[in-house]
Amino acid sequence: MATDVIHGSKAVAEAVKLCDVDVIAAYPITPQTRISESLAKFAATGAIRAEYIKVESEHSAMSACIGASATGARTFTATSSQGLAYMFELLFVASGMRLPIVMANANRALSAPLNIWNDQQDSVSARDCGWIQIYVETNQEALDSVIQAYRISENHEILIPSMVCLDGYVLTHTMEPVDIPEQDLIEKYLPPFKPALSLDPDSPITLGAFANPSTYMEFRYEQQKAIERSFKAIEAAGKEYGKLTGREYGLLEEYNLDDAEIVLITMGSLAGTVKETLASLNDRRIGLLRVRAFRPFPKDDVRRLLKDVDKVAVIEKDISVGLGEGALFSEIKSSLYGLDSQPSMAGFIAGLGGRDVTPEDIAGVVKKVEKGFEGTGWVGLK
């Protein structure tokens, strides 16, 4: 195992290299671009053997991944913000066809106004597309999660595409020490891709047929059942990975929860800031629940972990305009629905369009909820 100090983008590219991907199709967009550039460099130097399609758009990137995956290739793409929005209709096709495509999304705000900085509105808005969504906290986790994503998605019991979401700039453009596992270790962990079905002249199949009202619903139902099975697969993949590398992952990360009365909840790199803040507050009554898997959403685990807590405060970088709260807050509330004694709940919108969320902001949130704040609030609003 070699430790390198690298950007999150490079960490993702290293993971793709380790996974011996067959086809890559990607289109540049800040802050994702460095992922596609690193992969292009790998392809140019022969470090990877993948066919790299320099598509003319993200729409075609996902289309090409769908075509390639359906032909039996292990595929990868990466995008961000407008690019993800441009792919939107195809996200449903990829998951509806049950193709185990893996994509990295460098989380970035959506226009208008144009903004290239980090928030999580892009992938959060794609939550109902039928993809597994993993939000990572560190560059190391970005690398590890891409590798695990292939193992989870390609499992024939699952066959659901995966999106690994890493915060733009905060991770993509920030150097951190990252352990890069040995190739033979990953070969043990991730067997070569065996498609369940593929486009093959020796046994022709039709993919993407149209289904009328008498058959359509069952396809969606099957998807839901499959993504439910992925709870276990995500946990198993994280555990197994831990055995090989010493780094174990799950659906949720519990930090200082044993005696916690107040639990902060967030996704992605903001968890690092929260941990820093909690460490300096040094108060056993305050803990953090980091949501790693936003889809499938681990409702039952959330409920189990929060049922005896006094106060819950969600801090997130997205907003459902018109509802006035973030999607994570809505999910947490619905997970706790009907509990005998519900914790008091607060949801905070923070860091939209790359506005810094500082340890002082987090401490401010803690203070507010300690004083009994409930409902929704904004952090750092001018």
Which positions lie near another protein, rule CB under 8 A?
22-23, 25, 49-51, 53-57, 59-60, 63-73, 75, 89-90, 93, 198-201, 204-212, 215
Residue (of 351, 322, 352) closest to 113 by Cα position? 352
Q: Could you identify the residue written with the tokens 């209709």?
A: 89
Residue nearer to another protein on the CB measure, 23 or 327: 23
- Shortest distance, position 66 Cβ to another protein, whole Å: 5
Residue nearer to another protein on the CB measure, 89 or 308: 89
- Shortest distance, position 89 Cβ to another protein, whole Å: 6
- Shortest distance, position 236 Cβ to another protein, whole Å: 28
Residue nearer to another protein on the CB measure, 210 or 337: 210
Query: Cα separation of 302 and 336, whole Å?
Result: 8
DSSP state of 354: G
Residue nearer to another protein on the CB measure, 94 or 345: 94
Note whether 104 and 32 are within 8 A (CB): yes
Residue nearer to another protein on the CB measure, 37 or 51: 51
> Backbone phi, then psi, for 109, in 5-degree steps?
-65, 155
Residue (of 302, 78, 296, 236) closest to 171 by Cα position? 78
Bridge partners, 321 (sequence order): none
Note whether 324 and 347 are within 8 A (CB): no
Residue (of 311, 305, 309, 260) closest to 286 by Cα position? 260
Residue (of 53, 57, 54) closest to 82 by Cα position? 57
Query: Cα separation of 380 and 382, whole Å?
Result: 6
Residue nearer to another protein on the CB measure, 58 or 144: 58
Backbone CA torsion sign across 222, 213, 60, 118: negative
- Shortest distance, position 206 Cβ to another protein, whole Å: 4
- Shortest distance, position 166 Cβ to another protein, whole Å: 24
Structure tokens at 28: 């540049």
Residue nearer to another protein on the CB measure, 47 or 175: 47
> Backbone phi, then psi, for 294, in 5-degree steps?
-90, -30
- Shortest distance, position 142 Cβ to another protein, whole Å: 24
Residue nearer to another protein on the CB measure, 27 or 117: 27
Q: Could you identify the residue written with the tokens 């011996």?
A: 20
Biggest alpha carbon–alpha carbon distance for the chain: 68
Residue nearer to another protein on the CB measure, 53 or 227: 53
- Shortest distance, position 200 Cβ to another protein, whole Å: 6
Note whether 376 and 368 are within 8 A (CB): no
- Shortest distance, position 90 Cβ to another protein, whole Å: 6
Note whether 101 and 150 are within 8 A (CB): no
- Shortest distance, position 82 Cβ to another protein, whole Å: 15
Residue type, 84: L
